[in-house]
Amino acid sequence: MCQLDEFHRDLLFLLHDVARLLRVDADKRARQHGMTRAQWAILIWLERQPGLSQKELSEILEVEPITVARLIDRLETRGMVERRPDPRDRRIWRLHLLPPACEVLGEIEKQRADMTHMVSAGINENSIEIMTEALMRMKATLTQEAHASRNRAEPSDTHVQETV
């Protein structure tokens, strides 16, 4: 029979629970500012990588392109984001922040700092550094594995040509 203490210390459950609780807290904070966590995420990504397409954003956020399109419509209506045609492909719209997004991004940064302070309260700096390094390593490992399994699942061009 599993011991309750072992269950509460299970790494995978803990990672899941912490991420879920952070999402719930971020949702609440975004709602207090008349936005959604997804809209905040879009603003953050466009600040970091101006000119992303809606398709690229949908892949980053792991949502359907139509979902991103609707979120961008709302941000565009609020004057925070604009769509600009891609100079090389007229079917693609590149997304760029407008000045009203800067104030919101400032608030998002304050909320992120508050969340970081809240979640790391009582944990010393060395432990936070070790935890950060460990999480970065886990992410790298999972990313490599995802790419490897995707490559194993997709037939190579050579294989496709041989069977045609």
pLDDT at 104: 95
Cα separation of the two ends of the chain:
55
Q: Taking Cα atoms as reference points, which of 83, 94, 16 lies closest to residue 53?
A: 94
Burial class for 77, CB neighbours closer than 10 Å (0-12, 13-18, 19+): exposed
Residue 136 CB neighbours (<10 A): 10
Dihedral pair phi/psi, residue 81, rounded to 5°: -135, 145
User: pLDDT-derived band of residue 57, with 50, 70 and 90 as boundaries?
Assistant: very high
Quote the tokens at residue 103.
């104030």
- State how far the Cα of 1 lies from the Cα of 49, in Å rounded to an integer: 50
For 92-131, the pLDDT digits (tens) are 999 999 999 999 999 999 999 999 999 999 999 999 999 9
pLDDT at 4: 61
pLDDT at 154: 65
**Residue 61 pLDDT > 70, yes or no?**
yes
pTM of this structure: 0.79
